[in-house]
Amino acid sequence: MTRILVVDDEAGIRHIIQLALSPYDVTVLEAETGVEGLSLALSQYPDVIILDFRLPDLSGDLVAERYRASGGVAPIILLSASAEVDLLVKHPAITAALSKPFRLAHLCETLETLMNRPLTRSESKESPSDRD
């Protein structure tokens, strides 16, 4: 099963991403701070990390740098409301960047690209489009 770590201090963003990924065969891990996210990233070995740039304790690029320096290899999608998103994507520890607000479909497409495979729907979970 694919493991995706979402590190964002906004509970609403974490919740929306969790809901968007719920129809798929993925486990979503959540962290509210950079320190917590780094700890989870290094102990839980996620397949992809979705990382907010502005966190209350460490910036997302610093979390990414520390993760890479510790041997972490998972692709990192940086989320930023900053106008600097085009510069941030060039950071060597960052794999991709999305501007906030972002389209959930674009996030899913980016995840599929980084994992080199489509997100698979869970047989036990019903997607919102499957409901009447």
Domain range annotation of the chain = 2-118
Q: Please provide the CATH number assigned to the domain covering 2-118.
A: 3.40.50.2300
Burial of 58 (0-12, 13-18, 19+ CB in 10 A): middle
Give, rounded to a whole angstrom, the gap between the first and last alpha carbons of the chain: 28
pLDDT of residue 28: 97
Please identify every stretch of the chain with a pLDDT value under 70, giving residue numbers as ranges: 83, 124-132
pLDDT of residue 59: 92
Tens-place pLDDT, residues 51-86: 999 999 999 999 999 999 999 999 999 998 876 777
pLDDT of residue 1: 84
* Contact status, residue 54 vs residue 36, Cβ threshold 8 Å: no
